Amino acid sequence: MFALTIANPLTILFFTIIIPGFGVVIAGNSFVSPGGFVIGVFTGEVLWWAFLCGTLGSIRSYLNRAHLHLINRLAGLFIAGFGAVMIASALISGNI
Same structural domain, 10 and 53: yes
Rounded mean pLDDT of the chain? 80
Half-sphere exposure for 31 (CA within 13 Å, toward CB): 2
Q: How many domains does the chain have?
A: 2
Which domain does 41 fall in, by range?
1-62
Same structural domain, 77 and 48: no
Same structural domain, 51 and 93: no
Instruction: Indicate yes or no: pTM above 0.75.
Output: no
Q: How far apart are CA 12 and CA 70, in angstroms?
A: 30
Same structural domain, 9 and 55: yes
State pLDDT tens for residues 34-81: 677 778 878 888 888 889 889 988 888 888 899 989 999 999 999 999
HEC sequence for 19-65: HHHHCCCCCCCCCHHHHHHHHHHHHHHHHHHHHHHHHHHHCCCCCCH
pLDDT at 34: 66
